[in-house]
Amino acid sequence: MQKRFKASTYYFNRLMLPVRLRCLGCSGCFILGLFFATTCPLYAAQTQPALIPALTPVADWKNLTYITQAFSEIALKNEYDVAKHRVRKWRIPVRVFVEHQVGDRALHTQLVRMHLAHLAEITDHDIQLVDTLLDANLHLVFTRQSQWESEVMRLMGPSSAKNVHGSVCMAKFALNAKSEIERAWVIIPVDQAQMHGKLVACVVEEITQVLGLPNDSEKVFPSIFNDKTPQDLLTGLDFILLKLLYNPSIHAGMTAAEVKAPLQILLEQWQRDGTLIHVDKTVRQGQLYPLLGY
């Protein structure tokens, strides 16, 4: 399903988005070795994924078993390895510094600010913009295609730079020994993202993934984490996955077996209190939704 862009002429021209938007796909997690003795997965949005004609929505994604499986797919797996991963999430406050190497500073900052506010509201985690890189643990760079590879090399290293071709934007995070996310990086080449109609989608998916939902899977629908579906903003299912991940009963380092019981308790509670019933409406309260005509 494609969403029609209904924002003002100002935003249409500045974002360089087509009338209809397709979401970015994310190539998933590349295991890049150690960084401060931690694993640093990389996430790169691809240019090529297209909607599978035969793909149809799940009749009822709000089925508790389905949501549990979706959490396992997105939070506990990486696309390019078969290892069994533990829960990964931030424990410390997230402080985001935006580096502007291109114009439209105010617009790009506004997009980031809107999405960060939505993520903070969903997760109840402390997420804020800061004015200096020294105060940040999440470094987001808006650059241009001509500097794309060099910026990935500078912030993410040579292993990451090998994966820039065919990618629209990239993100990576670093874990400590407890599987807590301590640092993260997002790089968006604006002209390249605009060319594919994915500027907003890059902001939304890459920042969301570095909160601890690193995998892509065609098994999960509807979701921004599915390369084959045209989602450009968070869906109700994405909302629930984030809300689950940042519930206090879910801790970084939990195994798939350990997380099963608290997930069940939370989902049963949200089924009873109406959270699941109303979530598709709730998620659209984010500030980006009216901007894109939702």
CA distance 234 to 282: 11
**pLDDT tens-place string over residues 264-284:** 999 999 999 999 999 999 999
Residue 82 pLDDT more than 60?
yes
**pLDDT tens-place string over residues 106-139:** 999 999 999 999 999 999 999 999 999 999 999 9
Report DSSP state, residue 167.
E
Classify 103 as helix, strand or coil: coil
- Count other C-beta atoms under 10 Å from residue 81's C-beta: 14
**pLDDT tens-place string over residues 179-221:** 999 999 999 999 999 998 899 999 999 999 999 999 988 889 9
CA distance 243 to 282: 12
Read off the amino acid at residue 156.
M
Q: How far is CA 289 from CA 57, 138, 148, 219, 276, in A?
A: 21, 24, 28, 25, 19
The pTM score is 0.82
Instruction: Please choose, from the candidates 62, 73, 108, the residue with its C-alpha nearest in 3D space to the C-alpha of residue 283.
Output: 62
Pairing of strands 180-189, 138-143: parallel
Least confident residue range of 43-52, 86-95, 137-146 = 43-52
pLDDT at position 251, please?
Answer: 98
pLDDT at position 26, please?
Answer: 37
